[in-house]
A and B are shown apart, each in its own frame.
Chain A
Protein backbone atom coordinates (compact mmCIF):
# COMPACT_ATOMS: atom_id res chain seq x y z
CA UNK A 1 0.00 0.00 0.00
CA UNK A 2 2.64 2.42 1.03
CA UNK A 3 4.75 1.51 -1.91
CA UNK A 4 1.83 2.05 -4.24
CA UNK A 5 1.07 5.42 -2.72
CA UNK A 6 4.68 6.39 -3.02
CA UNK A 7 4.74 5.38 -6.65
CA UNK A 8 1.56 7.34 -7.35
CA UNK A 9 3.02 10.40 -5.67
CA UNK A 10 6.17 9.96 -7.64
CA UNK A 11 4.21 9.64 -10.87
CA UNK A 12 2.15 12.68 -10.04
CA UNK A 13 5.28 14.65 -9.23
CA UNK A 14 6.85 13.72 -12.53
CA UNK A 15 3.69 14.67 -14.38
CA UNK A 16 3.56 18.04 -12.64
CA UNK A 17 7.16 18.80 -13.40
CA UNK A 18 6.72 17.79 -17.00
CA UNK A 19 3.77 20.05 -17.69
CA UNK A 20 4.52 22.82 -15.25
CA UNK A 21 5.87 25.38 -17.70
CA UNK A 22 3.08 24.73 -20.19
CA UNK A 23 0.04 24.70 -18.03
CA UNK A 24 -0.68 24.68 -14.34
CA UNK A 25 -4.35 24.16 -15.14
CA UNK A 26 -3.57 20.77 -16.60
CA UNK A 27 -1.51 19.98 -13.54
CA UNK A 28 -4.48 20.61 -11.26
CA UNK A 29 -5.85 17.26 -12.49
CA UNK A 30 -6.72 14.70 -11.32
CA UNK A 31 -9.28 16.34 -9.07
CA UNK A 32 -11.88 14.51 -7.03
CA UNK A 33 -15.63 14.69 -6.99
CA UNK A 34 -17.41 16.83 -4.45
CA UNK A 35 -19.77 14.23 -2.91
CA UNK A 36 -22.54 16.84 -2.60
CA UNK A 37 -22.79 17.05 -6.37
CA UNK A 38 -22.68 13.47 -7.53
CA UNK A 39 -26.22 13.30 -8.95
CA UNK A 40 -26.52 9.65 -8.01
CA UNK A 41 -28.42 7.53 -10.49
CA UNK A 42 -28.24 10.14 -13.24
CA UNK A 43 -26.52 9.13 -16.43
CA UNK A 44 -23.70 11.38 -17.62
CA UNK A 45 -23.83 12.58 -21.23
CA UNK A 46 -21.00 10.87 -23.16
CA UNK A 47 -17.89 13.01 -23.49
CA UNK A 48 -17.88 12.97 -27.29
CA UNK A 49 -21.39 14.46 -27.34
CA UNK A 50 -20.55 17.14 -24.76
CA UNK A 51 -17.60 18.19 -26.89
CA UNK A 52 -19.32 18.08 -30.30
CA UNK A 53 -22.70 19.70 -29.69
CA UNK A 54 -22.06 23.26 -28.63
CA UNK A 55 -23.79 26.60 -28.78
CA UNK A 56 -20.80 28.92 -29.08
CA UNK A 57 -21.78 31.53 -31.66
CA UNK A 58 -18.29 33.00 -31.80
CA UNK A 59 -17.44 29.83 -33.74
CA UNK A 60 -20.57 29.47 -35.82
CA UNK A 61 -24.31 29.21 -35.32
CA UNK A 62 -24.67 25.45 -35.82
CA UNK A 63 -23.87 23.05 -33.00
CA UNK A 64 -21.15 21.10 -34.81
CA UNK A 65 -19.19 24.18 -35.92
CA UNK A 66 -17.42 25.17 -32.67
CA UNK A 67 -15.58 21.85 -32.41
CA UNK A 68 -14.09 22.46 -35.83
CA UNK A 69 -13.81 26.25 -35.94
CA UNK A 70 -12.44 26.79 -32.41
CA UNK A 71 -9.62 24.33 -32.99
CA UNK A 72 -7.90 25.94 -35.93
CA UNK A 73 -5.02 27.43 -34.03
CA UNK A 74 -6.98 29.46 -31.48
CA UNK A 75 -4.71 29.75 -28.41
CA UNK A 76 -6.25 29.49 -24.97
CA UNK A 77 -3.04 28.86 -23.01
CA UNK A 78 -1.48 31.57 -20.83
CA UNK A 79 -4.91 33.20 -20.65
CA UNK A 80 -5.32 36.14 -18.33
CA UNK A 81 -8.54 37.01 -16.61
CA UNK A 82 -9.35 40.36 -15.04
CA UNK A 83 -11.27 40.82 -11.83
CA UNK A 84 -12.49 44.39 -11.83
CA UNK A 85 -15.10 46.92 -10.81
CA UNK A 86 -16.52 47.61 -7.36
CA UNK A 87 -14.22 45.45 -5.28
CA UNK A 88 -11.42 45.93 -2.78
CA UNK A 89 -9.05 43.64 -4.55
CA UNK A 90 -9.15 43.98 -8.33
CA UNK A 91 -6.47 42.14 -10.25
CA UNK A 92 -5.44 40.66 -13.53
CA UNK A 93 -3.94 37.21 -13.41
CA UNK A 94 -3.31 34.00 -15.27
CA UNK A 95 -6.08 31.41 -15.02
CA UNK A 96 -3.50 29.00 -13.62
CA UNK A 97 -2.61 31.48 -10.88
CA UNK A 98 -6.30 31.93 -10.10
CA UNK A 99 -6.74 28.17 -9.70
CA UNK A 100 -3.83 28.13 -7.25
CA UNK A 101 -5.20 31.10 -5.32
CA UNK A 102 -8.61 29.49 -4.81
CA UNK A 103 -6.99 26.25 -3.70
CA UNK A 104 -7.38 24.02 -6.71
CA UNK A 105 -10.33 22.42 -8.39
CA UNK A 106 -13.03 19.85 -7.71
CA UNK A 107 -15.46 17.88 -9.80
CA UNK A 108 -19.22 18.38 -9.87
CA UNK A 109 -21.83 16.62 -11.96
CA UNK A 110 -24.38 19.21 -13.05
CA UNK A 111 -27.54 19.06 -15.10
CA UNK A 112 -27.30 21.38 -18.10
CA UNK A 113 -30.54 22.65 -19.65
CA UNK A 114 -30.42 24.68 -22.84
CA UNK A 115 -33.15 27.24 -23.53
CA UNK A 116 -33.71 25.31 -26.78
CA UNK A 117 -35.24 22.46 -24.74
CA UNK A 118 -32.40 19.95 -24.77
CA UNK A 119 -30.31 18.81 -21.85
CA UNK A 120 -27.12 17.07 -20.79
CA UNK A 121 -25.49 15.98 -17.55
CA UNK A 122 -21.90 17.15 -17.43
CA UNK A 123 -19.01 16.41 -15.08
CA UNK A 124 -17.36 19.80 -14.73
CA UNK A 125 -14.02 20.49 -13.07
CA UNK A 126 -13.47 23.88 -11.50
CA UNK A 127 -14.17 25.90 -8.37
CA UNK A 128 -17.12 27.72 -6.81
CA UNK A 129 -17.55 31.30 -8.03
CA UNK A 130 -17.91 32.26 -4.37
CA UNK A 131 -14.19 31.66 -3.89
CA UNK A 132 -13.39 34.26 -6.55
CA UNK A 133 -15.86 36.69 -4.98
CA UNK A 134 -14.18 36.25 -1.60
CA UNK A 135 -10.86 36.92 -3.25
CA UNK A 136 -12.13 40.10 -4.91
CA UNK A 137 -14.02 41.42 -1.86
CA UNK A 138 -16.81 43.37 -3.57
CA UNK A 139 -17.79 46.68 -1.97
CA UNK A 140 -21.27 47.36 -0.61
CA UNK A 141 -22.31 49.16 -3.83
CA UNK A 142 -21.72 46.03 -5.88
CA UNK A 143 -25.09 44.43 -6.67
CA UNK A 144 -24.38 42.52 -9.88
CA UNK A 145 -21.55 40.56 -11.44
CA UNK A 146 -20.82 40.99 -15.13
CA UNK A 147 -19.09 38.25 -17.14
CA UNK A 148 -17.34 39.17 -20.36
CA UNK A 149 -16.16 36.63 -22.94
CA UNK A 150 -13.16 37.07 -25.20
CA UNK A 151 -13.08 39.47 -28.13
CA UNK A 152 -10.70 38.37 -30.85
CA UNK A 153 -12.08 39.28 -34.30
CA UNK A 154 -8.69 38.59 -35.89
CA UNK A 155 -8.97 34.88 -35.11
CA UNK A 156 -12.71 34.56 -34.85
CA UNK A 157 -14.70 34.69 -38.09
CA UNK A 158 -18.16 35.26 -36.55
CA UNK A 159 -16.89 38.22 -34.56
CA UNK A 160 -15.70 39.77 -37.82
CA UNK A 161 -19.02 39.09 -39.52
CA UNK A 162 -20.58 40.88 -36.55
CA UNK A 163 -23.68 38.74 -36.17
CA UNK A 164 -24.06 39.53 -32.50
CA UNK A 165 -22.89 42.49 -30.46
CA UNK A 166 -19.55 41.08 -29.31
CA UNK A 167 -18.08 40.43 -26.85
CA UNK A 168 -20.63 38.03 -25.37
CA UNK A 169 -21.71 39.44 -22.01
CA UNK A 170 -23.68 37.89 -19.20
CA UNK A 171 -24.65 38.85 -15.68
CA UNK A 172 -25.89 37.57 -12.33
CA UNK A 173 -27.05 39.30 -9.18
CA UNK A 174 -24.37 39.22 -6.52
CA UNK A 175 -26.61 36.92 -4.46
CA UNK A 176 -26.93 34.49 -7.38
CA UNK A 177 -23.20 34.59 -8.02
CA UNK A 178 -22.54 33.84 -4.35
CA UNK A 179 -24.79 30.78 -4.38
CA UNK A 180 -23.02 27.51 -3.68
CA UNK A 181 -23.98 26.16 -7.15
CA UNK A 182 -22.48 28.97 -9.23
CA UNK A 183 -19.27 27.51 -10.60
CA UNK A 184 -16.28 28.52 -12.69
CA UNK A 185 -15.30 25.53 -14.81
CA UNK A 186 -11.78 25.02 -16.06
CA UNK A 187 -12.25 21.40 -17.02
CA UNK A 188 -14.64 18.77 -18.26
CA UNK A 189 -14.50 15.01 -17.77
CA UNK A 190 -11.30 15.38 -15.80
CA UNK A 191 -9.40 17.21 -18.53
CA UNK A 192 -8.83 20.90 -19.24
CA UNK A 193 -11.80 22.51 -21.03
CA UNK A 194 -11.81 21.97 -24.76
CA UNK A 195 -11.89 25.18 -26.80
CA UNK A 196 -15.43 24.49 -28.02
CA UNK A 197 -16.64 24.23 -24.42
CA UNK A 198 -15.29 27.64 -23.45
CA UNK A 199 -11.61 27.13 -22.62
CA UNK A 200 -9.85 27.99 -20.47
CA UNK A 201 -12.46 29.22 -17.99
CA UNK A 202 -16.23 29.56 -18.15
CA UNK A 203 -19.22 30.16 -15.97
CA UNK A 204 -21.59 27.31 -15.07
CA UNK A 205 -24.95 28.26 -13.54
CA UNK A 206 -26.86 24.97 -13.56
CA UNK A 207 -30.29 26.28 -12.49
CA UNK A 208 -30.38 28.71 -15.43
CA UNK A 209 -30.60 28.15 -19.16
CA UNK A 210 -27.26 27.48 -20.79
CA UNK A 211 -26.84 30.88 -22.38
CA UNK A 212 -26.23 32.41 -18.93
CA UNK A 213 -23.07 30.34 -18.60
CA UNK A 214 -20.70 32.56 -20.56
CA UNK A 215 -17.65 30.88 -22.07
CA UNK A 216 -13.95 31.79 -22.40
CA UNK A 217 -14.09 34.61 -19.86
CA UNK A 218 -11.61 37.48 -19.91
CA UNK A 219 -13.24 39.71 -17.32
CA UNK A 220 -15.43 39.44 -14.25
CA UNK A 221 -16.65 42.81 -13.09
CA UNK A 222 -18.59 43.89 -10.00
CA UNK A 223 -21.18 46.53 -10.89
CA UNK A 224 -24.01 48.46 -9.25
CA UNK A 225 -26.63 48.19 -12.02
CA UNK A 226 -28.03 45.21 -13.88
CA UNK A 227 -25.67 44.78 -16.84
CA UNK A 228 -27.03 44.43 -20.40
CA UNK A 229 -26.69 40.76 -21.39
CA UNK A 230 -26.19 39.54 -24.96
CA UNK A 231 -29.30 37.47 -25.74
CA UNK A 232 -31.51 39.73 -23.69
CA UNK A 233 -30.33 42.70 -25.75
CA UNK A 234 -30.92 40.91 -29.07
CA UNK A 235 -34.30 39.28 -28.36
CA UNK A 236 -35.66 40.63 -25.06
CA UNK A 237 -39.06 38.96 -25.50
CA UNK A 238 -37.44 35.52 -25.88
CA UNK A 239 -34.44 35.58 -23.54
CA UNK A 240 -34.74 37.16 -20.13
CA UNK A 241 -32.06 38.38 -17.75
CA UNK A 242 -32.88 35.77 -15.10
CA UNK A 243 -33.30 32.80 -17.47
CA UNK A 244 -34.13 30.43 -14.65
CA UNK A 245 -35.09 26.99 -15.89
CA UNK A 246 -38.84 26.97 -15.44
CA UNK A 247 -41.24 24.43 -16.97
CA UNK A 248 -44.17 26.79 -16.35
CA UNK A 249 -42.88 29.70 -18.41
CA UNK A 250 -42.71 28.92 -22.11
CA UNK A 251 -40.41 30.32 -24.72
CA UNK A 252 -42.52 32.16 -27.34
CA UNK A 253 -41.73 29.47 -29.91
CA UNK A 254 -41.71 26.30 -27.86
CA UNK A 255 -42.81 24.76 -24.58
CA UNK A 256 -40.29 24.51 -21.73
CA UNK A 257 -42.27 21.73 -20.01
CA UNK A 258 -40.01 19.01 -21.32
CA UNK A 259 -36.56 18.52 -22.78
CA UNK A 260 -34.77 16.19 -25.16
CA UNK A 261 -31.88 14.38 -23.49
CA UNK A 262 -28.82 14.46 -25.71
CA UNK A 263 -27.69 10.90 -26.35
CA UNK A 264 -31.20 9.48 -26.72
CA UNK A 265 -32.36 7.75 -29.88
CA UNK A 266 -34.89 8.71 -32.53
CA UNK A 267 -37.83 7.48 -30.48
CA UNK A 268 -36.69 8.45 -26.99
CA UNK A 269 -39.09 11.37 -26.73
CA UNK A 270 -38.62 14.03 -24.08
CA UNK A 271 -38.31 14.04 -20.30
CA UNK A 272 -40.08 16.51 -18.00
CA UNK A 273 -38.13 19.64 -17.15
CA UNK A 274 -37.64 20.30 -13.44
CA UNK A 275 -38.18 23.64 -11.70
CA UNK A 276 -34.83 25.45 -11.48
CA UNK A 277 -33.48 22.43 -13.34
CA UNK A 278 -33.81 20.32 -10.20
CA UNK A 279 -31.95 22.79 -7.98
CA UNK A 280 -35.03 24.30 -6.36
CA UNK A 281 -33.81 23.55 -2.84
CA UNK A 282 -30.59 25.46 -3.31
CA UNK A 283 -31.85 28.51 -5.21
CA UNK A 284 -35.59 29.13 -4.81
CA UNK A 285 -34.99 31.50 -1.86
CA UNK A 286 -33.18 33.84 -4.25
CA UNK A 287 -36.47 34.55 -6.00
CA UNK A 288 -38.89 34.64 -3.08
CA UNK A 289 -41.79 36.95 -3.88
CA UNK A 290 -40.63 37.51 -7.43
CA UNK A 291 -43.03 37.09 -10.38
CA UNK A 292 -41.07 34.55 -12.42
CA UNK A 293 -43.38 35.00 -15.38
CA UNK A 294 -42.41 38.64 -15.60
CA UNK A 295 -38.79 38.13 -14.56
CA UNK A 296 -38.18 35.20 -16.88
Chain B
Protein backbone atom coordinates (compact mmCIF):
# COMPACT_ATOMS: atom_id res chain seq x y z
CA UNK B 1 0.00 0.00 0.00
CA UNK B 2 2.81 2.34 0.90
CA UNK B 3 4.57 1.65 -2.39
CA UNK B 4 1.29 2.17 -4.20
CA UNK B 5 0.83 5.51 -2.47
CA UNK B 6 4.34 6.53 -3.42
CA UNK B 7 3.77 5.60 -7.03
CA UNK B 8 0.42 7.38 -7.02
CA UNK B 9 2.07 10.50 -5.68
CA UNK B 10 5.04 10.36 -8.01
CA UNK B 11 5.11 13.18 -10.52
CA UNK B 12 7.14 11.07 -12.91
CA UNK B 13 4.62 8.22 -12.76
CA UNK B 14 1.73 10.60 -13.34
CA UNK B 15 3.37 12.34 -16.27
CA UNK B 16 4.45 9.07 -17.87
CA UNK B 17 0.89 7.82 -17.66
CA UNK B 18 -0.65 11.01 -19.01
CA UNK B 19 1.86 11.59 -21.81
CA UNK B 20 2.71 7.93 -22.40
CA UNK B 21 -0.98 7.06 -22.75
CA UNK B 22 -1.26 9.60 -25.54
CA UNK B 23 1.88 8.39 -27.29
CA UNK B 24 0.72 4.78 -27.04
CA UNK B 25 -2.80 5.37 -28.37
CA UNK B 26 -2.25 8.28 -30.78
CA UNK B 27 1.36 8.59 -31.93
CA UNK B 28 2.71 5.04 -32.24
CA UNK B 29 -0.37 3.76 -34.19
CA UNK B 30 0.14 6.53 -36.78
CA UNK B 31 3.63 5.28 -37.56
CA UNK B 32 2.74 1.62 -37.16
CA UNK B 33 -0.25 2.08 -39.49
CA UNK B 34 -2.63 0.35 -37.10
CA UNK B 35 -5.41 2.93 -37.11
CA UNK B 36 -7.54 0.99 -39.57
CA UNK B 37 -9.37 2.01 -42.73
CA UNK B 38 -10.21 5.54 -41.58
CA UNK B 39 -7.12 6.56 -39.59
CA UNK B 40 -8.06 10.18 -39.03
CA UNK B 41 -11.45 9.18 -37.68
CA UNK B 42 -9.67 6.81 -35.31
CA UNK B 43 -7.47 9.66 -34.08
CA UNK B 44 -10.51 11.91 -33.77
CA UNK B 45 -12.36 9.40 -31.62
CA UNK B 46 -9.38 8.31 -29.57
CA UNK B 47 -8.25 11.84 -28.67
CA UNK B 48 -11.79 12.75 -27.68
CA UNK B 49 -12.12 9.67 -25.52
CA UNK B 50 -8.82 10.30 -23.76
CA UNK B 51 -9.85 13.92 -23.15
CA UNK B 52 -13.20 13.02 -21.62
CA UNK B 53 -11.75 10.26 -19.42
CA UNK B 54 -9.01 12.59 -18.23
CA UNK B 55 -11.58 15.23 -17.37
CA UNK B 56 -13.59 12.60 -15.53
CA UNK B 57 -10.48 11.62 -13.60
CA UNK B 58 -9.71 15.13 -12.42
CA UNK B 59 -13.31 15.72 -11.40
CA UNK B 60 -13.36 12.60 -9.28
CA UNK B 61 -10.40 13.77 -7.20
CA UNK B 62 -12.18 16.37 -5.06
CA UNK B 63 -15.16 14.20 -4.09
CA UNK B 64 -12.79 11.35 -3.28
CA UNK B 65 -10.86 13.71 -1.05
CA UNK B 66 -13.95 14.76 0.82
CA UNK B 67 -15.22 11.22 1.15
CA UNK B 68 -11.91 9.70 2.21
CA UNK B 69 -10.01 12.48 3.98
CA UNK B 70 -7.71 10.00 5.67
CA UNK B 71 -6.76 7.99 2.59
CA UNK B 72 -3.15 8.68 1.71
CA UNK B 73 -3.53 7.36 -1.79
CA UNK B 74 -6.29 9.88 -2.48
CA UNK B 75 -4.12 12.67 -1.14
CA UNK B 76 -1.27 11.40 -3.29
CA UNK B 77 -3.42 11.38 -6.41
CA UNK B 78 -4.61 14.88 -5.61
CA UNK B 79 -1.09 16.13 -6.14
CA UNK B 80 -1.63 15.67 -9.87
CA UNK B 81 -4.91 17.54 -10.26
CA UNK B 82 -3.32 20.40 -12.15
CA UNK B 83 -1.38 18.11 -14.50
CA UNK B 84 -4.43 15.95 -15.15
CA UNK B 85 -6.68 18.96 -15.68
CA UNK B 86 -4.29 20.61 -18.11
CA UNK B 87 -3.81 17.38 -20.04
CA UNK B 88 -7.60 17.02 -20.44
CA UNK B 89 -7.43 20.38 -22.20
CA UNK B 90 -4.45 19.37 -24.33
CA UNK B 91 -6.15 16.15 -25.48
CA UNK B 92 -9.29 18.19 -26.14
CA UNK B 93 -7.27 20.51 -28.36
CA UNK B 94 -5.81 17.51 -30.21
CA UNK B 95 -9.37 16.27 -30.69
CA UNK B 96 -10.35 19.65 -32.12
CA UNK B 97 -7.34 19.61 -34.45
CA UNK B 98 -8.35 16.16 -35.69
CA UNK B 99 -11.87 17.50 -36.27
CA UNK B 100 -10.56 20.39 -38.38
CA UNK B 101 -8.40 18.00 -40.41
CA UNK B 102 -11.26 15.54 -40.76
CA UNK B 103 -13.55 18.25 -42.10
CA UNK B 104 -10.83 19.12 -44.58
CA UNK B 105 -10.13 22.67 -43.43
CA UNK B 106 -11.91 25.93 -43.00
CA UNK B 107 -15.01 25.35 -45.15
CA UNK B 108 -15.80 22.03 -43.57
CA UNK B 109 -15.19 23.45 -40.12
CA UNK B 110 -17.59 26.30 -40.82
CA UNK B 111 -20.23 23.83 -41.95
CA UNK B 112 -19.78 21.81 -38.81
CA UNK B 113 -20.35 24.94 -36.72
CA UNK B 114 -24.00 24.93 -37.72
CA UNK B 115 -24.52 21.88 -35.51
CA UNK B 116 -25.34 22.14 -31.79
CA UNK B 117 -23.46 18.84 -31.35
CA UNK B 118 -20.24 20.61 -32.31
CA UNK B 119 -21.00 23.58 -30.06
CA UNK B 120 -21.40 21.43 -26.94
CA UNK B 121 -17.88 20.26 -27.59
CA UNK B 122 -16.54 23.65 -28.56
CA UNK B 123 -17.94 25.56 -25.58
CA UNK B 124 -16.84 22.80 -23.22
CA UNK B 125 -13.35 22.85 -24.70
CA UNK B 126 -13.18 26.67 -24.54
CA UNK B 127 -13.87 26.48 -20.82
CA UNK B 128 -11.10 23.91 -20.46
CA UNK B 129 -8.73 26.24 -22.31
CA UNK B 130 -9.54 29.11 -19.94
CA UNK B 131 -9.10 26.87 -16.93
CA UNK B 132 -5.83 25.44 -18.22
CA UNK B 133 -4.54 28.94 -18.98
CA UNK B 134 -5.27 30.00 -15.40
CA UNK B 135 -3.88 26.86 -13.81
CA UNK B 136 -0.82 28.54 -12.37
CA UNK B 137 0.18 30.39 -9.23
CA UNK B 138 0.32 33.69 -11.05
CA UNK B 139 -3.38 33.49 -11.97
CA UNK B 140 -4.36 32.45 -8.47
CA UNK B 141 -2.53 35.46 -7.09
CA UNK B 142 -3.90 37.79 -9.73
CA UNK B 143 -7.52 36.68 -9.42
CA UNK B 144 -7.59 36.06 -5.71
CA UNK B 145 -8.34 32.65 -4.27
CA UNK B 146 -12.08 33.12 -4.15
CA UNK B 147 -12.46 34.36 -7.73
CA UNK B 148 -10.08 31.76 -8.99
CA UNK B 149 -12.06 29.03 -7.30
CA UNK B 150 -15.30 30.42 -8.68
CA UNK B 151 -13.83 30.48 -12.17
CA UNK B 152 -12.59 26.93 -11.88
CA UNK B 153 -16.04 25.73 -10.86
CA UNK B 154 -16.84 26.21 -14.55
CA UNK B 155 -15.23 22.79 -14.88
CA UNK B 156 -18.59 21.30 -13.91
CA UNK B 157 -20.35 23.13 -16.72
CA UNK B 158 -17.63 22.00 -19.11
CA UNK B 159 -18.04 18.43 -17.90
CA UNK B 160 -21.81 18.52 -18.37
CA UNK B 161 -21.45 19.89 -21.91
CA UNK B 162 -18.67 17.50 -22.86
CA UNK B 163 -20.29 14.40 -21.44
CA UNK B 164 -23.45 15.31 -23.35
CA UNK B 165 -21.33 15.89 -26.48
CA UNK B 166 -19.83 12.43 -26.01
CA UNK B 167 -23.21 10.83 -25.29
CA UNK B 168 -24.83 12.00 -28.51
CA UNK B 169 -21.71 11.33 -30.60
CA UNK B 170 -22.56 7.62 -30.79
CA UNK B 171 -25.34 6.41 -33.04
CA UNK B 172 -27.89 5.73 -30.32
CA UNK B 173 -25.42 4.26 -27.87
CA UNK B 174 -23.64 6.08 -25.07
CA UNK B 175 -21.39 3.54 -23.38
CA UNK B 176 -18.57 5.92 -22.50
CA UNK B 177 -20.82 8.73 -21.33
CA UNK B 178 -22.72 6.50 -18.94
CA UNK B 179 -19.55 5.08 -17.46
CA UNK B 180 -18.49 8.65 -16.74
CA UNK B 181 -21.77 10.27 -15.83
CA UNK B 182 -23.09 7.81 -13.29
CA UNK B 183 -19.92 7.36 -11.20
CA UNK B 184 -19.19 11.09 -11.24
CA UNK B 185 -22.76 11.94 -10.29
CA UNK B 186 -22.69 9.32 -7.52
CA UNK B 187 -19.43 10.75 -6.15
CA UNK B 188 -20.86 14.27 -6.15
CA UNK B 189 -24.07 13.17 -4.44
CA UNK B 190 -22.09 11.32 -1.77
CA UNK B 191 -19.81 14.29 -1.29
CA UNK B 192 -22.63 16.82 -0.96
CA UNK B 193 -24.52 14.50 1.39
CA UNK B 194 -21.47 14.16 3.57
CA UNK B 195 -21.00 17.90 3.70
CA UNK B 196 -24.66 18.51 4.52
CA UNK B 197 -24.57 15.99 7.35
CA UNK B 198 -21.91 18.00 9.13
CA UNK B 199 -22.99 20.02 12.13
CA UNK B 200 -23.84 23.72 11.57
CA UNK B 201 -21.29 24.81 14.20
CA UNK B 202 -18.54 23.23 12.22
CA UNK B 203 -19.75 24.86 9.05
CA UNK B 204 -19.09 28.32 10.46
CA UNK B 205 -15.73 27.11 11.61
CA UNK B 206 -15.23 25.77 8.11
CA UNK B 207 -15.97 29.19 6.62
CA UNK B 208 -13.39 30.84 8.80
CA UNK B 209 -11.01 28.14 7.93
CA UNK B 210 -11.61 28.74 4.23
CA UNK B 211 -10.69 32.36 4.58
CA UNK B 212 -7.72 31.50 6.70
CA UNK B 213 -6.29 28.92 4.36
CA UNK B 214 -7.17 30.83 1.25
CA UNK B 215 -5.20 33.76 2.52
CA UNK B 216 -2.41 31.45 3.38
CA UNK B 217 -2.43 29.94 -0.11
CA UNK B 218 -2.22 33.33 -1.70
CA UNK B 219 0.44 34.74 0.53
CA UNK B 220 2.71 31.77 0.61
CA UNK B 221 2.19 30.86 -3.07
CA UNK B 222 3.60 27.45 -2.46
CA UNK B 223 3.45 24.78 -5.10
CA UNK B 224 0.17 22.93 -5.13
CA UNK B 225 1.38 19.81 -3.43
CA UNK B 226 2.99 21.53 -0.48
CA UNK B 227 -0.07 23.73 0.02
CA UNK B 228 -2.10 20.56 -0.06
CA UNK B 229 0.03 19.14 2.69
CA UNK B 230 -0.40 22.30 4.69
CA UNK B 231 -4.14 22.02 4.34
CA UNK B 232 -4.04 18.43 5.41
CA UNK B 233 -2.49 19.47 8.67
CA UNK B 234 -5.42 21.71 9.58
CA UNK B 235 -8.42 19.84 10.96
CA UNK B 236 -10.89 20.85 8.25
CA UNK B 237 -8.30 21.73 5.71
CA UNK B 238 -9.34 19.05 3.29
CA UNK B 239 -12.65 20.79 2.74
CA UNK B 240 -11.02 23.91 1.42
CA UNK B 241 -10.29 22.21 -1.80
CA UNK B 242 -13.69 20.63 -1.88
CA UNK B 243 -15.23 22.34 -4.83
> Does A252 contact B115, Cβ atoms closer than 8 Å?
yes
Q: Which residues of A contact B115 (CB under 8 A)?
A: 250, 252-255
Q: Chain A's interface: helix, strand, loop or mixed, by majority?
A: loop
Report A156-180 residues with CB < 8 Å from chain B CB. 163-164
CB < 8 Å neighbour of B112 from A63, A255, A267: A255
Asked if A257 CB lies within 8 Å of chain B CBs, one says: yes
Interface stretch (choices A96-104, A184-192, A258-266, A283-291): A258-266
Minimal Cβ-Cβ distance residue in A for B173:
A61
Interface stretch (choices B21-29, B34-42, B130-138, B153-161): B34-42
Asked if A64 CB lies within 8 Å of chain B CBs, one says: yes
CB < 8 Å neighbour of A266 from B36, B101, B170: B101
In the assembled complex, the Cα of A238 lies from the Cα of B171 at a distance in Å of 9
- Given A53-B38, A258-B104, A235 and B111 contact (CB-CB distance below 8 Å): no
Asked if A234 CB lies within 8 Å of chain B CBs, one says: yes
A interface bracket (residues with beta carbon within 8 Å of B): 20 to 34
Q: Which residues of A contact B171 (CB under 8 A)?
A: 61, 116, 231, 235, 238
> Does B172 contact A164, Cβ atoms closer than 8 Å?
yes
- Given A234-B172, A266-B101, A52 and B36 contact (CB-CB distance below 8 Å): yes
Q: Flag B110-149 by CB within 8 Å of A: 1 or 0 each.
A: 0110111110000000000000000000000000000000
> Does B39 contact A266, Cβ atoms closer than 8 Å?
yes
Minimal Cβ-Cβ distance residue in A for B110:
A255
Asked if A131 CB lies within 8 Å of chain B CBs, one says: no
> Does B101 contact A270, Cβ atoms closer than 8 Å?
no
In the assembled complex, the Cα of A65 lies from the Cα of B105 at a distance in Å of 30
In the assembled complex, the Cα of A234 lies from the Cα of B171 at a distance in Å of 9
> Does A49 contact B37, Cβ atoms closer than 8 Å?
yes
| Distance in Å: Cβ of A193 to nearest Cβ of chain B | 18
> Does A61 contact B41, Cβ atoms closer than 8 Å?
no
Asked if B108 CB lies within 8 Å of chain A CBs, one says: yes
| Distance in Å: Cβ of A246 to nearest Cβ of chain B | 15
Asked if A269 CB lies within 8 Å of chain B CBs, one says: yes
Residues of A within 8 A of B (CB): 49, 52-53, 61, 63-64, 116, 118, 163-164, 231, 234-235, 238, 250, 252-255, 257-258, 260, 262-263, 265-270
Can you list 22 A-B contacts with CB-CB less than 8 angstroms, sorted by A residue number?
Answer: A53-B36, A53-B37, A61-B175, A64-B36, A116-B171, A118-B38, A235-B171, A235-B172, A252-B115, A253-B117, A253-B118, A253-B168, A254-B112, A254-B115, A257-B111, A260-B38, A260-B104, A262-B37, A269-B104, A269-B105, A270-B103, A270-B104
Residues of B within 8 A of A (CB): 36-41, 101-105, 108, 111-112, 114-118, 168-173, 175
